[in-house]
Amino acid sequence: MELDIARDAELSDCNTMRVQARTGALVRIHSTEQLRALSERWVGDFDPGTVRLLGQGSNSIPCDWPGAVVQLRLGGIEVLDEGERLVRVRIGAGEDWPSLVRTALERGWYGLENLAMIPGSVGAAPVQNIGAYGVELSDRLAAVEVFDWSDRTRRLIPADELQLGYRTSRLRGAQGVWVLAIHLDLLRCPDVVTDYPSLLEELERRSGGGSAARPTPEAVFEAVCALRGRKLPDWRRHPNAGSFFHNPEVDRAEAERLAAAFPDLPRWPVPEGWRVPAGWLLERCGWRGRRSGPLEFWRDHALTLVNHGGAASSSEIIEFARQAMDAVQKTFGLALTVEPMLWEAERLNLKRPQTQ
Ligand code: EPU
């Protein structure tokens, strides 16, 4: 079985922020036969520390990677089971997330509409437990199919064993566990989630404010697309990796201190305390629209870091992000954490894997 391997490959076309970086070998896997061929080639020689998995690169900041980078292009959307209330669907890791949301809606499988237009591949979705406008993938995820390099077997992991949390899961640090497909439980009857404040506002605006009827999933989908289109830069024109920082969580005492000092700080309760929006914190520090070379904390939404072109590298991005983090720390006493995966943190001590 022929493997699709490009030696000494450029990665800027493989990530949505167009970060410049090179890898020793870019391996694209289009079928389970190719995955088997790769596992046979790497018999006894697979070191998870030297291999990075990349979906569409919409949540990764790559750096030069002397080992190998693997893209899983396994496709397919298939119904596994259909009950009265739910339909269980299996989706290959290489499918495009935004297209899946659209397809699901067209087929009358509901529950993904709030997650419209999130760039990326299906396989990456459970790794960071994607979420938007009041819904997280964990609300719909039943299980993931993985290939585990520790024993070279395929396994099905139920969602409740994945430690899914806010933009995180057990899969996030597990380099030798590759998601091959996900299983979702989707709704056969609409049951929309509309309590996210800006979504509710958009729906009311669109219905003229007078309609008492519950919005349809299609209306929620359209409203989410309109909101994202207005606020968030499209990575095809303004390369970016989505939200660059997590929204920090603070305990009750900290929330009270902040609310006293900044009465207009938006915040919402979470089980352990409160979450506050990093975009608001950055804007308040004067970082909305701030530029350094090709980089800009987006003029319409400070939480997105845009690369306007040129040779933005991982180190330049980290340096600029660090300055923003320092500003937030100084003004609010809060530590921001970077949301996309920073490869630079894991580059040390690599050895080249055997790819031929
Ligand atoms: N805000 C500002 N200034 C800004 C940006 C935001 O004041 O420059 C304020 C907004 O006015 C609002 C609050 O911050 O009061 C929250 O903003 P928004 O609703 O746009 O959401 P977010 O917290 O910035 C999060 C997710 C997004 C997701 C949206 C909608 C994280 C890290 N980000 O952003 O997810 O689309 O909510 O649910 O949780 C992503 O993870 O990459 C991502 C885009």
Take residue 45 and report the two structure tokens written for it. Answer: 């020689």
Residues near 152 by beta carbon (within 8 Å), at least 6 away in sequence: 39
CA angle at residue 286 from 280 to 289, to 5 degrees?
A: 90
pLDDT in tens, 79-117: 999 999 999 999 999 999 999 999 999 999 999 999 999
**Euclidean distance between CA atoms 221 and 229, whole angstroms:** 12
pLDDT band at 41 (very low <50, low <70, confident <90, very high): confident
Q: Of 243, 296, 314, 347, which residue is the catalytic one?
A: 243
Checking if the pLDDT of 219 tops 90, the result is yes
Strand partners, 184: 89, 141
Checking if the pLDDT of 65 tops 60, the result is yes
| Half-sphere exposure in the Cβ direction for 298 (13 Å, CA) | 25
DSSP 222: H
| Contact in structure between 276 and 288 (CB atoms under 8 Å) | no
| Contact in structure between 287 and 301 (CB atoms under 8 Å) | no
* Residue 288 Cβ contacting ligand 1 at under 6 Å: yes
In this prediction, residue 211 carries a pLDDT of 67
**Which atom, in ligand 1's list, is nearest to the CA of 302?**
8
**Euclidean distance between CA atoms 297 and 307, whole angstroms:** 9
pTM (2 d.p.)? 0.95
* Residue 198 Cβ contacting ligand 1 at under 6 Å: yes
What per-residue string of b and e applies to 270-297 under the rule 16 or more CB within 10 Å gives b? eeeebbbbbbbbbbbbebbebeeebbbb
Take residue 24 and report the two structure tokens written for it. Answer: 């020793």
Residue with tokens 């207009």: 264
- Please state the rounded mean pLDDT for residues 205-214: 82
State residue 337 phi and psi, 5-degree precision: -120, 145
What sign for the dihedral angle of Cα 138, 242, 21, 62? Answer: negative
Q: Show the DSSP H helices in 29-179 as ranges.
A: 32-41, 97-106
The residue whose CA is least distant from atom 7 of ligand 1 is: 280
Residue with tokens 């694209």: 28
In this prediction, residue 346 carries a pLDDT of 65
pLDDT in tens, 124-152: 999 999 999 999 999 999 999 999 999 99
| Residue to substitute in 303, 306, 331, 338 for testing ligand 1 pocket (most ligand atoms within 8 angstroms of CB) | 303
* Residue 283 Cβ contacting ligand 1 at under 6 Å: yes
Please report the DSSP string for 254-279 in residue order.
HHHHHHHH-TT---EEETTEEE--HH
**Euclidean distance between CA atoms 311 and 185, whole angstroms:** 42
Q: Coil, helix or strand for 142?
A: strand
In this prediction, residue 44 carries a pLDDT of 73
**Euclidean distance between CA atoms 268 and 222, whole angstroms:** 25
The residue whose CA is least distant from atom 10 of ligand 1 is: 280
Q: Coil, helix or strand for 330?
A: helix
DSSP 344: G
Residues near 242 by beta carbon (within 8 Å), at least 6 away in sequence: 58, 59, 118, 119, 232, 304, 339, 340
**Euclidean distance between CA atoms 157 and 159, whole angstroms:** 6
- What is the average pLDDT value for the chain, to the nearest integer? 93
**Euclidean distance between CA atoms 261 and 168, whole angstroms:** 31
Take residue 221 and report the two structure tokens written for it. Answer: 């989908």
